[in-house]
Amino acid sequence: MIVLGYNGFSRVTELLGKIVGHGTEGIDRHQFLGHDAGAAVFVDGVLVAAVEEERLNRRRKTTAFPINAITWCLREAGLTYTEVDRFAFSWCFTNDFADRAISGIASAYLPAEQKIKAIADFGDLYTGALSRTALIEDFARNTGFTPPSGKYVVVPHHRAHLACGRALAGFGDTAFYVSDGQAEEHSAIAGEIRGGRVRVLDQFTVGGAHSIGLLFAEITRYLGFVPNNDEYKVMGLAGFGTPPEHNPLLDKVVALAQGGRYSLAPANGDRPGRYEALLDATFDGDRVSRGDFDFQVRVAAAAQDMIERVTAHQLTALSEVTGLRSLIFEGGLALNCVNNTKLLEDLPFDRVEVSFGASDPGVSIGAAAHVADASIADVSPYLGPEYEAEAIRAALDEHATAVTWRELPFDQLVAETAALLTDKNVIGWFQGRAEYGPRALGNRSILANPSFPDMKDVINNRVKHREPFRPFAPVVLEEDAPRVFDLGKKTRSPYMTFVFPVRPEFRDKIVAATHVDGTSRIQTITDEGNPRLAALLRDFTARTSVPCLVNTSFNVAGEPIVCSPADAVACFLGTDIDHLVIGDFLVSKR
């Protein structure tokens, strides 16, 4: 069976923007349904292609209908629309959902005129973007092909998240936990899979009004960052502080209850910024203090502690109810890698897996996997476009007055690149198929030597143009990881979804890839999984006795990770990256 899964809408930004009162610019620009649009194709249970729309249309976290991603996936798979057996979309807004939404507006304490306007606005959103009819019309309008109704499947958003994690983990019986900002109506679901049957346990379902994901996003906004995008900055800031002995967020904002339940204090409506007054009161803050680094660290440390304690509260109860010792954790909250490690180490689970598509890029894979009922453990994350030497030469020729290059045999390319990395050079590394998901996993990466104490500042200031407190991650051979990092219950971490303490004897050796709290968010690689990067890492380690490289995404702040040779050359020339290794070409600036 051939299944095309996708995420993204044409009109949701326009229609939802009218309701929430903001558009695609400004601090709240990513607060829309369908962000991280993308597409994926399964053929007879095998994931053959997947790419995020942002990599192709070059608009970060785009909500747009993924016409470029769908076109590329079908072309890569050698398929036409008529050959697809099922079209799977990663949201499911049913008639019952619409009825409940209208009833909620009608029963709200609002003047009649406001109710009528709110119902009309929701009606425009539902009929123009969310309903099954609107979705099929959207597909036809963008592709010129109308999927037969019997072939078009709408998959509940959290079930798409679960299916992605389940397919990529390859577990048998397991507990699961999916938590993000908000899906159709809920923010989190949890349950168990036994004998292939999924059972959602209602006592762990959390409504959107009590979403800790949305609360963390509001704290992100409160500190001046972009919600639904910069939460990792808050996580990074937390490492500069210590968790409060008495967390004010758990005193005034979040209330834990028996059985893993919790609730949030009422906020000022559902508009962006609704928690500002409550957070000011909680932390004795104001608009001036929110920009102070020490204040930001204090709030971030409390927010991170809150996330860890609430999820541990939920998952402790889930482990007791299910008795299972494996856990699949998906959704946007699963990108909090500090929390992931603590859940694994402090709770009864022996194994916790977070996929490379844990946040919303994964629901395109998940929608298709849900329909295909696929299980494909240890699939490669390198699922996107690959470019031949001719395409690379063409991109270089476009900038022949600005760059010079040599095409080298692979062994020589690795040797010369490793030699460059022994010094304080920053290398753009572009190889093979583009990786899927929010992390650069070694095919569209910026690499550097982590042994230089100022390398973090060099990359942040000269290349990435981002905040100086932001840490960088190391890439390490899987066989070397246990001697460099304390992996605890883990044996590998290929997707940068967990953090680990750096062993004391290596903290000076990889100082630029060690966070202020002594941890690193590592990527482990093997010769089989990424032979080119593994060969480079072996050569570099042999030359330096440094077993890691800094690995950060090949982009600048605010832009998607590069996808094509043209993207890579443009980023190379627009930054202070010293050299570009693209395919078999070693490129320098004239």
When the pLDDT of each residue in the chain is averaged and rounded to a whole number, the result is 94
CATH number of the domain at 337, please: 3.30.420.40
43 and 69: one domain? Answer: yes
Asked if 330 contacts 165 with a C-beta cutoff of 8 angstroms, the reply is yes
As a whole number of angstroms, the distance between CA 419 and CA 536 comes to 10
Above 90 in pLDDT, residue 378? Answer: no
Number of Cβ atoms within 10 Å of the Cβ of 120: 11
Strands 197-200 and 186-194: antiparallel
556 and 423: one domain? Answer: yes
150 and 180: one domain? Answer: no
Above 80 in pLDDT, residue 28? Answer: no
- In angstroms, what CA-CA distances link 289 with 224, 294, 297? 11, 9, 11
Of 27-41, 71-85, 160-174, 243-257, the one with minimum mean pLDDT is 27-41
Is residue 548 in a domain? yes
Is residue 377 in a domain? no
pLDDT digits (tens, 9 = 90+) for 452-475: 999 999 998 888 888 888 889 999
**What pLDDT is recorded for position 269?**
59
Is residue 376 in a domain? no
305 and 199: one domain? Answer: yes
Q: Look at residue 407 and give its three-state secondary structure.
A: strand
Q: Look at residue 188 and give its three-state secondary structure.
A: strand
Above 80 in pLDDT, residue 32? Answer: no
Give 162's Cβ-side CA count (13 Å radius).
Answer: 28
Confidence of residue 377 (pLDDT cuts 50, 70, 90): low
**What pLDDT is recorded for position 275?**
87
> Looking at 96, 123, 154, which one is the last position of a domain?
154
Looking at residue 85, the DSSP 8-state letter turns out to be: S
Above 70 in pLDDT, residue 549? Answer: yes
Number of Cβ atoms within 10 Å of the Cβ of 98: 17
Above 90 in pLDDT, residue 92? Answer: yes
Above 90 in pLDDT, residue 91? Answer: yes
Is residue 381 in a domain? no
> Looking at 154, 186, 214, which one is the last position of a domain?
154
146 and 195: one domain? Answer: no
Looking at residue 206, the DSSP 8-state letter turns out to be: E
User: Average pLDDT in the 252-256 region?
Assistant: 93
400 and 539: one domain? Answer: yes
89 and 149: one domain? Answer: yes
196 and 145: one domain? Answer: no
398 and 499: one domain? Answer: yes
Judged by phi (left if over 0) then psi (alpha if -120 to 50, else beta), residue 63 lies in: alpha
For residue 146, how far is the Cα from the chain centroid?
31
Is residue 23 in a domain? yes
Amino acid identity for residue 283 in this structure: F
Strands in 424-472 per DSSP E: 427-430, 444-448
Of 163-167, 251-255, 377-381, 563-567, the one with minimum mean pLDDT is 377-381
Confidence of residue 509 (pLDDT cuts 50, 70, 90): very high
Rg (CA), the chain: 24
Query: Tokens standing for 539?
Result: 């050569």
For the chain, what is the largest distance between any 2 Cα atoms, rounded to a whole number of angstroms? Answer: 74
194 and 331: one domain? Answer: yes
395 and 490: one domain? Answer: yes
Above 70 in pLDDT, residue 24? Answer: no
Is residue 363 in a domain? no
Confidence of residue 125 (pLDDT cuts 50, 70, 90): very high
Give 458's Cβ-side CA count (13 Å radius).
Answer: 21
As a whole number of angstroms, the distance between CA 350 and CA 335 comes to 20
- In angstroms, what CA-CA distances link 45 with 147, 168, 377, 530? 21, 12, 11, 23
Q: Report how many domains make up the chain.
A: 3
Residue 444 buriedness (CB in 10 A; 0-12 / 13-18 / 19+)? buried
Number of Cβ atoms within 10 Å of the Cβ of 452: 15
Of 104-108, 273-277, 366-370, 375-379, the one with minimum mean pLDDT is 375-379
546 and 419: one domain? Answer: yes
Confidence of residue 187 (pLDDT cuts 50, 70, 90): very high
Confidence of residue 370 (pLDDT cuts 50, 70, 90): very high
Asked if 493 contacts 522 with a C-beta cutoff of 8 angstroms, the reply is yes
Confidence of residue 109 (pLDDT cuts 50, 70, 90): confident
Above 70 in pLDDT, residue 88? Answer: yes
Confidence of residue 110 (pLDDT cuts 50, 70, 90): confident
**Domain residues for 445?**
389-589
> Looking at 106, 122, 154, which one is the last position of a domain?
154
Rounded to a whole number, what is the distance in angstroms from the first to the last CA of the chain? 51
Residues 6+ apart with CB under 8 A from 36: 7, 52, 54, 61, 62, 359, 360, 361, 363
As a whole number of angstroms, the distance between CA 192 and CA 116 comes to 42
Above 90 in pLDDT, residue 481? Answer: yes
pLDDT digits (tens, 9 = 90+) for 335-363: 999 999 999 999 999 999 999 999 999 99
As a whole number of angstroms, the distance between CA 444 and CA 562 comes to 7
Is residue 373 in a domain? no
CATH number of the domain at 561, please: 3.90.870.20
Dihedral sign for Cα 281, 285, 291, 293, please.
Answer: negative
**What pLDDT is recorded for position 30?**
74
Containing H/E element for 311? helix 293-322
Is residue 129 in a domain? yes
The pTM of the full predicted model, rounded to 2 decimals, is 0.95
**What pLDDT is recorded for position 558?**
86
Strands 254-256 and 262-264: antiparallel
